[in-house]
Amino acid sequence: MQKTDFIFKRPETGKTEIAKRERWRWVAHYKNGTKLHQFDDEAGIFHQFREIDQSKIESFQMVSDQNPEGINLLIPPNGADLIHFYRNVRLAGRKDWIKLYFFGWKIKNQRGRSIQKLICIYPNDKIALVDELEGGGAK
Amino acid sequence: MAATIRINEYNGAGEVETVNIGDTDMGSVDQANLDPIANPIVPGDNSFEKWQKLEVVAMGGSSKIHNLKVWRTGALGGSAAHKTNAREASYGGAETYAEPTDDPSTVATQNIPTSEPSGANLGIGGSLAGELTAVGYSDYLVHQIQTDAGDVAGSTSTLNCQYDEVA
């Protein structure tokens, strides 16, 4: 039986929280061959995105039960920062939130301008490349 | 689920809280989850203001909630306007609660955008760049429909909202 609840100990408070398994989950692949799973099934632990050591990362993967091969994002070698967040939308007339999964990278160009490239996974598992200004909002 | 978020509404002089509202129907009464058919806005009048907040009930392992956006869709009809305090420029900070009124709002003074704004337009802690890293509330979202005597009945303005969550 697949775990649905994962333990997270918040470093700021020392308190334990329950994180529910997400439909799409990240896996960080390091250059030394090890991996960090957002939801560690063996240990039953949830890892926050900020726990990833981005200086050692080789690639970043999003997987789901229906897509175990997932989507693999090769990290550009020139020092780009990884991005991962959920965008939650409550459309008119609905009481539930629709969740979109965003991941990608950002980097400053030679002029110091932040360039951000994102991939969005929709509720029907379709994906789209999204150009977005830093802080949100489509270009 | 990661963080658990709900939308609450506040009514009356006593700032009575109704948690996790089912809709934000506007009407001629200061009431959460009101029936707009029983409490219609007469053309030329205004709806009662809505005073609402997003509440983070549990973080569920996530590290922050931010980038709050609200916008409307639908055809208002006639010259009716749906006004709000939410805005991307010249944001007025966190509003202090006042009993909702059907007089022209002095807080909701700018038209709600009709498509997703490019950046946050509702703040946290008085700032559009604010973020919640623990349970807590957004700033008040205040909005009101203002109609004209020539407006037709039955037009709609529907509210959408959105936030980003870093897990």
Looking at this predicted complex, what is its ipTM?
Answer: 0.92
Q: Is the pLDDT of residue A77 over 90?
A: no
Give the lowest-confidence range in A40-49, A123-132, B23-32.
A123-132
Most B-contacting residue of A6, A13, A51, A89 (CB-CB within 10 A), to test interface? A89
Grouped pLDDT means (10 residues each) for chain B, 167 residues:
92 98 93 94 95 97 97 88 97 98 98 96 98 98 95 81 97
Q: Is the pLDDT of residue A134 over 90?
A: no
Query: Which has the closest alpha carbon to A71: A112, A33, A27?
Result: A27
Residue B67 to residue A135, Cβ atoms within 8 A:
yes
- Residues of A with CB below 8 A from B73's CB? 92
Query: What confidence category does residue A56 fall into, taking pLDDT thresholds of 50, 70 and 90?
Result: very high
Residue B85: its H or E element: none
Q: How far apart are CA B94 and CA B136, in angstroms?
A: 14
Residue holding tokens 């160009």?
A109
Residue B161 to residue A90, Cβ atoms within 8 A:
yes
Residue B9: phi, psi to the nearest 5?
Answer: -125, 150
Distances (CA, A) of B143 to A51, B37, B51, B127: 40, 19, 7, 18
Q: How far apart are CA A27 and CA B44, in angstroms?
A: 57
**Paired strand residues for A130:** A118
Q: Which of B7, B133, B165 sits opposite A85 (nearest CB)?
A: B165
Tokens of A103: 């991941």
Q: Is B115 on the interface with A (CB under 8 A)?
A: no
Question: How many domains does one find in chain B?
Answer: 1
> What pTM, to 2 d.p., does this model score?
0.92
Instruction: Put residue A13 in one of left, alpha, beta given phi > 0 → left and psi -120 to 50 → alpha.
Output: alpha
Query: What confidence category does residue A132 fall into, taking pLDDT thresholds of 50, 70 and 90?
Result: low
Average pLDDT, stretch A41-56?
96
Domain limits of chain A? Answer: 5-131
* Domain coverage including residue B69: 1-167
**Alpha carbon B155 to chain centroid, angstroms:** 18
pLDDT tens, position by position, A19-42: 999 999 999 999 999 999 999 999
